[in-house]
Amino acid sequence: MSGYVADPRIRWPEWLPWIVALAAFFLLPEYLALGARILIFILFALSLDLILGYGGIITLGHSAFFGLGAYTAGILSAKLGVNDPHLQLVAAAAAGAALGLATGAVILRTKALTLLMLTLAITAILLEVANKMSSVTGGADGLSGVQVNPLLGLFKFDLWGRTAFLYCLTVLFLGWLVVRRIIYSPYGAMLTGIRENTARMHAIGAPVYWRLVLVYTISGTIAGVAGALLTQVNQFVGLNVLGFEISGELLVMLILGGVGRIYGAFVGPAVYLVAQDYLAKQFPEYWYFGIGALLIVVVLFAPGGILGITDKCLSFFRPKSSARASAH
C-alpha cells in the first residue's frame, strides 16, 4: 500500500469514513457521544498502527501516552484554570512527545517480550502515580471540574455533543493527514522495512534505533492528543485512561480492523465500540462474551482483520492477472 511504487493520491474509498461520519452527525443525533468516543479511539488506534503496524514495535502500554494526554488537559483546566482547548491540546501533545522520547530512548534498545513488558511497566507506573497523587489527579475518584472554553472563542461545547463531535472529527482529520503522509513517505517505507527485516535495515546502513525513537515520539504525540480530546469531551478524567486494560482494548480494536493499514485503525474502533454499545444494552451482564466471540471469529477466519476480508472479497471479483499486469 505505501512505498516507492504506491500512488499517494487519495482514492475515493478513502473519503468514505468522512462521509459516514458526517452522515452520522446529521442522521443519528442521539449517538453523537458514542460517535465522538469512536473518533477519539480511531485517532488513538492510528497512533498505535504507526508504531505497531508499520514500525513493528509491539506494545501493551500505549495508554501511557493517552492517559498522560488526558491528565495533562484535565489538570491544566481543573487545577490550573487553563480552559483554552487549543492550549490543552498542544500541552497534551507536548507531554506525549516528551514521554515518547524519554521512554522510547530507553526501551527501544530492547525488543520482543522484553520490550512488551517494559511498555506495560511504564503505563502501570503511570497508573499508580495517578492513583496515589490524588491531590493533583483526583485519584480513584477521578478528576472532575474540567472546563473547556469555546473553540476558537466561538463554538461552545453543547449539551448534545454536536460541537464535541465535529471538533473530534476535525482533529482526527488532521491526524489522519499527518499519519497518511508519513506512511507514504520514504520514512514510512523505511518503517515497513524495519518491521519486515530489522537485520537487513542495519545492513543497509539505517540507524534503526534513532528512527524507531522518532516514530515512537510521533506516535506518543498523537496518542496524547487523543487522550486530551477524551478529557475535553467528557469533562472528566478517570484512572481507566491508564494501565493495561485500555491498552489491550486498543490492541484488540486494531487487530479487529486490520494491523498495518491505515483504515484498519478506522474500522476496528468503530466496530468494537458500536458492538460494545449494542451488546451492553441488549445483554448488560454478558456483553464481553459477544466481544470475545467477535474477536475469535475475526482471528480464526480473517487474520488480516475485517479489512483483510474486504480485500479478499474485492480480489475475488478482480481479474486474477491484474497484480502481474500492472508490472508492465
Partner 1 sequence: MPFVLQTEKLCKSFGALTVADAIDFRLEAGARHALIGPNGAGKTTFVNMLMGAIAPSSGRILLGGEDVTRISQSARVKKGLGRTFQITSLFRSLPLLDNVALAVAERRGTAHSMWKPASSYEDIIQESTELLATLGLADDARVRVADLPYGKQRLVEIAIALGLKPKVLLLDEPAAGVPSEETEKILGTLEKLPSEIAILIIEHDMDVVFRFARRITVLVQGQVLLEGAPEEVARDRRVHEVYLGEQQHG
Q: Which residues bind partner 1 (CB under 8 A)?
A: 2-8, 181-182, 184-190, 192-193, 196-197, 199-208, 211, 214, 323-324, 326-328
CB of 328 to partner 1, least distance (A): 7
Chain-centroid distance of CA 232 in Å reads 17
CB of 36 to partner 1, least distance (A): 29
Closer by beta carbon to partner 1, 8 or else 13:
8
Which residues neighbour 24 within 8 Å (Cβ) at sequence distance 6 or greater?
A: 31, 32, 35
Closer by beta carbon to partner 1, 9 or else 281:
9
8 Å CB contact between 46 and 204: no
Closer by beta carbon to partner 1, 36 or else 218:
218
Closer by beta carbon to partner 1, 313 or else 327:
327
CB of 68 to partner 1, least distance (A): 24
CB of 182 to partner 1, least distance (A): 5
Grid cell at residue 20: 459516514
CB of 192 to partner 1, least distance (A): 6
Q: What is the dihedral of CA 205, 208, 210, 216, to 10 degrees?
A: 150
Which residues neighbour 189 within 8 Å (Cβ) at sequence distance 6 or greater?
A: 2, 3, 4
Closer by beta carbon to partner 1, 40 or else 182:
182
Closest CA relative to residue 267, chosen from 277, 278, 254: 254
User: Taking the CA atoms of the chain, what radius of gyration do you get in angstroms?
Assistant: 20
Chain-centroid distance of CA 136 in Å reads 26
